[in-house]
Every structure is written in C-alpha cells, then in structure tokens.
Structure 1
Amino acid sequence: MKASTLFAALLLSGAAFATDVTYGEHGMALFGGKDGLYASHLPMFHAPHDYQVILQVHVADAATDAALRRRLDGKTALWTVAPEKFELSRLAPQASTPLKQFKADLVLGHFEQGGKTQYAASTIVVDKVIMYRKLSPEQRASGTATYTQIGNGKQRYLVKQIDSRPDYDHILSYRAAPGAATDDITVIKQDLRQPSPAELATALHTRSDAIKGTIYFYTDDLK
C-alpha cells in the first residue's frame, strides 16, 4: 500500500473513532460490599456524559476485590472510580463491541475534589449493565422522584433516576427487611432537596432507621 493511501486510511479510521461523542473519562461513584459491587456514572446534561449508567462490577485482582468490598460493605463513605477514557456507548444493551473491562484508579473521596487513590490502575470487569438511560437536555419539572433499588438481599441501595432538569444525583444505603420487594419507589420531589429518611422509609414500607444514609448527593452537574 502506498504511503499516501495508508495515511488516508488512518485518517478515515481516526475520523470514524472521533464520531463517537460518548468518548471521554467517565467518572463513577463506587458503592457496595460483599454481596455486590456497583459503579454509577456521574452524569451531566451534555456529551459525552449525558447518560445515566449503573454497572455491577468486580476487580480482576481477587485480593484487591476482597479488600475493597470489606472497606465499602454498605458504608456511606464516598468512593469514586477514575477510569481510562472509553466510549460510554459500548455499555449500551445492543453495543456491537461491548465494553468488558477497563483500567481505573479507585479513589476514597471524589477523584476531582481531593480524593485519595487507594488502588491505582486496577482492572474493573463489567459483570452487568443494570441501567443505561439517555438524558434529555430539556428543562423539565417533576413533582416526584423515582429511586431504583440495587441489590436484592438485606443490604441494598437506592439510586435516583435522573428524569428532570434541574435534578440531583442521589445514592443511598439502606437495610431491607427479609423478603422486601425490589420494585422502584417514588417519593414527592421538593425542588432539589434530599428526601428525608422518613419519606424514603414510608415508600419502602419500612422503618426510618433502616435508611443508613447518603453515599453521594450532587446537584452542580445537573443544572
């Protein structure tokens, strides 16, 4: 192949790659424990971050995975994932080249707000895509907030569905009663205020002290 032809082919290949507007560094909140480890993409209302994505994952290195689960295990301290760049579209249900794993630093605290790396360059394996939703950039009010339950055992988590603008990203931990339903729950939404433990407990048909607390709450990226 002539040099000029090869150069043109490389340019075309690069152009095709660049057309995927979801390519970027997709930071995530990390939560879970011995029963499951989860990563929730930190969304915005603009590309490449305009998707709400929740993954069930594990760390390829077994010792790191076990240590991480022990340190998290239902607690409310914030951990985040600072990954290498990739196309978020590869996590879509019908992706032609699904993303199976990626490298990332695992950070205690927010990786962009003074967090401290605890496990550098870890290989994160994607076990399951729990949620993949495109966000609408349109201004829209909502009188309710819907939360998806993550996990089906005693230790569970609630993640708010981003469905209005402005909105808030909210992840919290709670202790479920034996045999509790795993359905989504809905509470009254009052501007960008966090629902109280009592409001969430009522929607879950449980006691207020079952709500262990907030892992992540943020509004600035969703205005």
Structure 2
Amino acid sequence: MKHILLLFILLSSTALANTHQHNTHNTDRTHSYEGFHGMALILAGDKVLASHMPLYAPPHNYQIVYEVTTDDTHLKIIKNALNESVKKQAQITILPTKFDLSLLINKMTPTLKTTVFNGHFERGGYALFSTKLTFKNPLYVKKLAITKPKKAEFDLIKVSATQGLVIHKIQSKPSYDSLSLIPLSNGKYNGELKCDTAINTALKSKLKACFKNAPSYLETRDFTVL
C-alpha cells in the first residue's frame, strides 16, 4: 500500500512539473514578440498611417498597417514632414520604445512612446522628436505566407471613401514591401489589382505605371536574395 501511495505521489509531482513547464513555455512565446519594431509613416489624405517594417524572421513576419494619431502640435509637424518627404522622395520612419507586437497583431489600440525620424531609423536617418502615438485604427494585419506564386499579389484596403491603399503581399525571396495610394470612386477601385513586375531597379517606375501613382513606401533591401 505504501509503495502504491508513493508511486501516486511521484506521478502527480511529474504531471505538475510538466504542466508548469508548458505554461512557462507559452508565456515565453508571448513575450518573444516584445522588442523594437520600426515602422514607416505615410500620409493618406488627412490621415497618418504607420506600416510595420516586416522581416522574414519571426516575430517580425507580419504586415501591419494602422491609422495613428498624436497631439495636435506633433500631428501637424508629422504631416508637414510627410509632405516634404514626398517632394524629396524621402521617408519618415518611427521607432517606438520596446513593446509587444502582439498588441497590434491582435488589433488592439495602444498608445506608444515613439521617436520620429527623418529617413530610415536604421540607415542614416536622424531623430526629429519624440511623442506618444496612439494606434487608433487597425487597417491591415496579415502574417507573411512565404509562397512562390507565378505573379505578384496585392491586397486593397479602404482608407476613406475616395482613397485606397494597395499593399504588395510579401512572398519568397526576392520580394518587396510596397504601399501605393490609389483613388476610389464610390468606394471602389476602377483599375486592376495587379502588377506583374520583376525585382530590379525599375520596380518603382513599374509600380507607378500600374497604379498611376508612385509608391508611398517601397522596401526591397530586406527581401533580397543574399
């Protein structure tokens, strides 16, 4: 009887230990999304959009676009900077302080302390100022599906009644990340949602020809074959 009782205690202890390890593992997986996640800003009419700069490696393998806002003063400065960046064919990027990307993946609306950069925050850009940005409206959240399609694939999201955003679905290398603003008529796009392009130096021109507007954001370096 004593042997049976001892065996029962040992088995129960093992089960509890395994359960604790499993729960700890799940917690670690959740926290793995916590880190630094840079984003590009674009101006869509009177709205400022933030696009997560994805990578193939988890946890960065998500294409995410949000409408963001901040206090009136900083919002005006951001819009002016974005207007200037369009003229100079430059970009405005942001780097929030360390946060859990799963907040955006799950379409929550956090307010994050953020540094705004003139240029790419990792490639020679310089800090303009810091502000708190509220991610007020999730427009697009999609995990990268690394496929080898025969042609480029795009998604279209509605930003307003008169403007949409065409997003290139990142595929296997070589690929690219691009955002193109397009006009909508009665909430609909009258053009074709396709652009059969090769990855080369003429990509920007080809996207402009396809969607009648130069891409507001284009990144190829992170998706090239090394």
Task: Compute the TM-score of the two structures, normalised by the length of structure 2.
Answer: 0.72
Are 2:224 and 1:186 equivalent residues in the alignment? no
The AA in structure 2 aligned to 1:79 is I
Report the equivalent of 2:118. Answer: 108
Q: 2:179 aligns with which of 171, 175, 187?
A: 171
- Give unmatched runs, 5+ long, in structure 1: 1-11, 202-210
Counterpart Cα distance in 2 of 1:173 and 1:67 = 21
- Which residue, out of 39, 44, 48, partners 2:50? 39
Q: 1:90 Cα deviation (Å)?
A: 1.4
Give, in angstroms, the shift of residue 150 of structure 1: 5.2
2:148 to 122, 135, 140: 140
Find the partner of 1:29 among 25, 37, 40: 40
Paired residue for 1:87, among 100, 106, 111?
A: 100
| Aligned 8 A contact 2:44 2:159 in 1 | no
Q: What does residue 5 of structure 1 align with? A: none
Larger relative contact order (C-alpha < 8 A, sep ≥ 6)?
Answer: 1
Q: For residues 220 and 35 of structure 1, do their structure 2 counterparts lie closer, same or farther at Cα, with a shift above 3 Å needed?
A: same
2:136 is equivalent to residue 123 of structure 1: no
Calculate the TM-score normalised by the size of structure 1.
Answer: 0.73
**CA offset at residue 111 of structure 1?**
0.3
Offset from partner CA, 1:38-73 (integer Å, 9 cap, x none): 0000111111201111111101x2211122123324
Give the stretch that moved more between structures: 180-189 or 31-40.
180-189
Whole-Å separation in 2 of the counterparts to 1:115 and 1:24:
20
Alignment match, 1:19: 29
Inter-partner Cα distance in structure 2 for 1:48 and 1:183? 36
Query: Aligned residue for 2:91?
Result: 78
Q: 1:64 to 1:183 in 2, by over 3 A?
A: farther
Structure 2 portions without partners, runs of 5+: 1-21
Structure 2 counterpart SS, 1:46: coil
User: Are the equivalent residues in 1 in contact too, given 2:152–2:168 (CA < 8 A)?
Assistant: no
Q: Aligned pair in 2 of structure 1 residues 145, 33: CA closer, same or farther (>3 Å)?
A: closer
C-alpha distance 44-13 of structure 1, shift in aligned 2 (>3 A) = same
Aligned pairs (5 A) from 1:203-222: 211=213, 213-222=214-223
Q: Which has the higher strand share?
A: 1
